[in-house]
């Protein structure tokens, strides 16, 4: 007769040092699996949580929304509006020249003239010595050529005589109506180092505050205070607020809440059209290739 199987005896643990796993340490971040192995979104497979932070919801609708938002952000990064002001932001004189040409003129017409001017008069000194009739001839296709030619020469001379300094803000002349308040109330533009230059209107000052301040200081937040009226600057700031700050934005009230899925889709559709921008390639100018224009 066979003996019944005996239950194996438990092994005695050998004495040793007890080590606490870092997984249970509140000082370390924990990784939590929030989706199954079939989930294709790597960003949702491993999410770093702060101590005491709850894991993201595994609800199918929440996961679908997260994947859709992530995909939209990736597409928006590729739809960044490229404006000439950002390309030449390191030279404030060139930014003002570009704004003078783009004011009430489409970029399709203005940008070729701008790059022709930069080849012939690449510095403020050379343009200050230019003949008015030569500038007029080059500006014929843009309209108001006499006014623009005189303004460009005056701008270049003043830029040499009294160049802008980051430590010397000048009072701004233009003012704009407060669109969110009824009645005849006006908001003054803040003082800037370029406010004394000829042509320092709302469009040029907005361009300076958005692009040049970042060129001077990558950590500058001056661009967040700008509420422009130009449609291309508005489009650029809507993109920048959505992609870099994850906030909605409008030119009247400024930044808003986190962008909704419908807001991101609308922004994607607007940027995909790129109605006011036209690629321009001028001769062999390296920086001019693959540039798109803006309208004032």
Nearest to 121 by CA among 78, 160, 164, 87: 160
The answer to whether the CB of 107 falls within 8 A of the CB of 280 is yes
pLDDT digits (tens, 9 = 90+) for 86-125: 999 999 999 999 999 998 888 889 999 999 999 999 999 9
pLDDT grade, residue 236 (50/70/90)?
Answer: very high
More confident residue, 252 or 50: 252
pLDDT digits (tens, 9 = 90+) for 50-81: 455 555 555 555 655 567 778 888 899 999 99
Q: What is the mean pLDDT of residues 216-244?
A: 94
Task: Give the pLDDT of residue 295.
Answer: 39
The answer to whether the CB of 107 falls within 8 A of the CB of 235 is no
pLDDT grade, residue 10 (50/70/90)?
Answer: low
144, two tokens: 């108001």
Q: Looking at the predicted structure, is the pLDDT value of residue 292 above 60? A: no
The answer to whether the CB of 199 falls within 8 A of the CB of 151 is yes
283, two tokens: 């001769």
3-class secondary-structure state, position 292: strand
- DSSP character at residue 275: T
Q: At 134, phi and psi to the nearest 5?
A: -70, -40
Helices 261-273 and 60-78 pack at an angle, to 10 degrees, of 20
Give the range with max mean pLDDT: 7-11, 173-177, 190-194. 190-194
The answer to whether the CB of 99 falls within 8 A of the CB of 199 is yes
Mean pLDDT for the chain overall: 78
pLDDT grade, residue 238 (50/70/90)?
Answer: very high
Residues of the chain with pLDDT > 70, as a percent, come to 66
Task: Give the pLDDT of residue 6.
Answer: 66
Task: Give the pLDDT of residue 255.
Answer: 94
Q: Is 206 a catalytic residue?
A: no
Contacts of 153 (CB under 8 A, 6+ apart): 127, 128, 130, 132, 135
More confident residue, 17 or 231: 231
Nearest to 128 by CA among 162, 166, 101: 162
Q: At 172, phi and psi to the nearest 5?
A: -90, 145
pLDDT digits (tens, 9 = 90+) for 126-158: 999 999 999 999 999 898 899 999 999 999 999
Task: Give the pLDDT of residue 71.
Answer: 84
Residues of the chain with pLDDT > 90, as a percent, come to 54
103, two tokens: 């004011």
Q: Looking at the predicted structure, is the pLDDT value of residue 194 above 70? A: yes
Task: Give the pLDDT of residue 249.
Answer: 95
**Pairwise CA distance, residues 257 & 241, whole Å:** 11
Task: Give the pLDDT of residue 37.
Answer: 42
Helix residue spans in the chain (DSSP H): 42-45, 60-78, 84-87, 92-102, 107-120, 124-128, 132-138, 145-161, 202-207, 213-216, 231-240, 261-273
Could you say which of 41, 217, 230, 270 is catalytic? 230
């Amino acid at each position: 007769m066979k003996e019944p199987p005996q239950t194996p005896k438990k092994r005695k643990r050998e004495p040793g040092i007890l080590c606490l796993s870092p997984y249970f340490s509140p000082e370390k971040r924990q990784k939590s699996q929030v989706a199954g192995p079939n989930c294709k979104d790597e960003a949702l497979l491993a999410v770093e949580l702060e101590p005491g932070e709850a894991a993201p919801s595994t609800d199918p609708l929440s996961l679908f929304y997260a994947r859709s938002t992530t995909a939209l952000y990736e597409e928006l990064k590729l739809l960044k509006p490229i404006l000439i002001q950002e390309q030449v932001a390191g030279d404030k004189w060139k930014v003002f020249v570009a704004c003078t040409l783009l004011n009430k003129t489409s970029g399709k017409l203005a940008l070729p003239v701008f790059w022709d001017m930069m080849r012939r008069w690449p510095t403020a000194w050379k343009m200050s010595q230019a003949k008015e009739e030569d500038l007029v001839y080059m500006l014929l296709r843009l309209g108001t050529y006499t006014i623009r030619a005189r303004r460009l020469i005056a701008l270049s001379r003043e830029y040499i005589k009294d160049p802008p300094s980051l430590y010397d803000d000048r009072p701004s002349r233009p003012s704009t109506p407060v669109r969110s308040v009824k009645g005849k109330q006006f908001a003054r533009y803040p003082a800037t180092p370029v406010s004394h230059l000829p042509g320092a209107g709302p469009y040029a000052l907005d361009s300076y505050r958005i692009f040049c301040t970042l060129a001077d200081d990558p950590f500058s937040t001056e661009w967040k205070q700008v509420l422009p009226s130009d449609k291309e600057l508005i489009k650029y700031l809507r993109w920048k607020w959505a992609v870099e700050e994850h906030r909605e934005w409008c030119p009247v009230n400024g930044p808003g809440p986190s962008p909704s899925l419908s807001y991101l889709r609308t922004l994607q559709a607007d940027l995909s059209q790129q109605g006011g921008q036209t690629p321009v390639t001028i001769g062999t100018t390296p920086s001019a290739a693959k540039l798109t224009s803006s309208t004032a």
